[in-house]
Structure 1
Amino acid sequence: MAFSADVGDVIAGLALLLSGYATWQSIMFNKKQKSLLESQEKLNQRLLEKEDADSAAERKADLGATIIKIGSNNYRLKIWNKGKATAKNVLIDFPEGNDCFMESDIIRKFPLERLDTYQSVEIMAAVSMDTKGKHMIRLRWDDDFKGMNEKIVYPTL
């Protein structure tokens, strides 16, 4: 039994090989495309998360406090808002006690109705040799993101 091939058989064989190669290329292309779509979906998800975080940050106030020295022996407690939103109903208290900040100044200024972005308020301090160097201060406020935020800060002399 001899195998004989004519021109038509050779062309059919080449067509079969070409078809197989084209099928293999299509499968590889589809895998790459699927991988690209998954990467694009992950990227879109991360962008959405970043947008959500940025949107939340736009509605948050961020209060801080420090003790500043003015002149040779004048000290003040400076409370500021470095967030992007206005802080409302700002309250201050001293969980470990207040031994140097003027109570009359605190009562006169707090609760503070609003503290805008980059705005600050100062409280006079009476510092002596017996005054401790670090003070625990609790700041509480409302903003557009959440009601009754709280932050504890430790300003030092």
Structure 2
Amino acid sequence: MPVTIDAGDVIAGLAFLLSGYATWQTVSFNKRQKSLVESQEKLNTILLEKENEDALKGKQADLGASIIKLGSSKYRLKIWNKGAATARNVRIEFPEGNDLVIESEVTDKFPMESLEKYQAVELIAAVHMQTKRKHVVRLVWEDDAQSYNEKLSYPTL
């Protein structure tokens, strides 16, 4: 029996090939779509972490200390807040001993109830020939992010 191919068979064959091509295109599109969704999820996770970090930084105070020279023989120990939040109950300690700042300055000004953003306080420093060039200052405070923060600062002459 001879095989005859008529127009309907050709159309059915072309429809089958077109269907196979459309299926292949759909599968490859779905793979690219899945990759895009995964990268969007990663990006959203990174953005969420960044937002949380920025929100936390907005609640943190960042204290520091430095020694500044006024004129030829006057020195001050400057304690400052460069953080975004107010530091509360600010305390200053000298782990290696205090031979720099006049003790009455420390007891009169500390603990400070609050140290606002970009606010500073200066303590009169008694500098003489035997004064060490490098000092250790421990700053302890509270802010909106944590109830206990501590930072060691190393101001130098």
| Shared fold (TM-score, shorter chain, > 0.5) | yes
2:5 maps to which residue? Answer: 5
Displacement of 1:153 in angstroms is 0.6
2:127 maps to which residue? Answer: 127
Residue identity opposite 1:67 in structure 2: I
Residue identity opposite 1:6 in structure 2: D
Give the TM-score normalised by the residue count of structure 2: 0.98
Percent identity, aligned pairs only, is: 64
Aligned pairs (5 A) from 1:9-20: 9-20=9-20
Give the aligned CA root-mean-square deviation in angstroms.
0.8
1:109 is aligned to 2:109: yes
Aligned residues: 157
Q: Which consecutive unaligned segments of at least 5 residues does structure 2 have?
A: none
Aligned pairs (5 A) from 1:1-157: 2-157=2-157
* 1: CA distance, partners of 2:141 / 2:4: 93
Displacement of 1:5 in angstroms is 1.3
Displacement of 1:98 in angstroms is 0.7
* 2: CA distance, partners of 1:125 / 1:46: 46
Q: Which consecutive unaligned segments of at least 5 residues does structure 1 have?
A: none
Q: Which runs of 4+ in 1 moved over 3 A?
A: none
Deviations 1:81-113, CA, capped at 9 Å, x for gaps: 000000000000100001121101110000000
* 1: CA distance, partners of 2:30 / 2:4: 39
